[in-house]
Amino acid sequence: MTNSNYFYALKLPNEAKYYIHENLTELKDKLTFNKWVHPEDFHITLAFLGKVEEEKLKDSIQKVRNSCLEQPGFSLKLTELGIFGPAASPRILWAGVQNEDRLYSLQKAVYISCEEAGFLLDKKPFKPHITVARKYKGDNKFNPDSLSTLGEFTFTADRFTLYKTNIGMSPSYETIQDFNLNIME
């Protein structure tokens, strides 16, 4: 059993990471969170595996590769900022993306492949988001009205990745395997 956590996630292109980071600069000065996520770590989780046995991990890679071979790439549009947890003291600040059926299809294919490899995964419904900060710790109650939209920014989702978490490092996530989506020209 490995000591690190592993997960599959949609990899954001650098221009999307930069756009989100730049649009959070002003907010960072106003909101106090315990941790702001390093821009290199921005992603959309498809399946969280946790600590893994190497054979199961290899099996999941093969099953994911086979099931996602024909998955098409697609465009995603960033939308609003939101929170998970109590409104006065949220656990997570996130950037959202517009609903896209192909993202849900990709997540389902990855999720099912991981279950077939023997992983017990979270049963909560998929809520695509990009975590940008964790654990609000401001002196005042958090005000959800302080959040804004992210403007108009669309990017091409052309790959997803198996990541390993390196606790205590920044950026924290290490690419183990990239999977390219089928981009139609």
Q: Is there a catalytic annotation at residue 21?
A: no
Half-sphere exposure of 69 (CA within 13 A, CB side): 5
Q: Of 43, 63, 134, 164, which residue is the catalytic one?
A: 43
The C-alpha atoms of residue 95 and residue 81 are separated, in whole angstroms, by 5
Half-sphere exposure of 164 (CA within 13 A, CB side): 11
Half-sphere exposure of 84 (CA within 13 A, CB side): 14
The C-alpha atoms of residue 30 and residue 27 are separated, in whole angstroms, by 5
The C-alpha atoms of residue 93 and residue 114 are separated, in whole angstroms, by 27
Q: Is there a catalytic annotation at residue 38?
A: no
The C-alpha atoms of residue 166 and residue 110 are separated, in whole angstroms, by 22
The token duo for 68 is 């996602």
Name the DSSP letter for residue 142: P
Q: Of 129, 132, 164, 181, which residue is the catalytic one?
A: 129
Give catalytic residues, as residue numbers.
43, 129
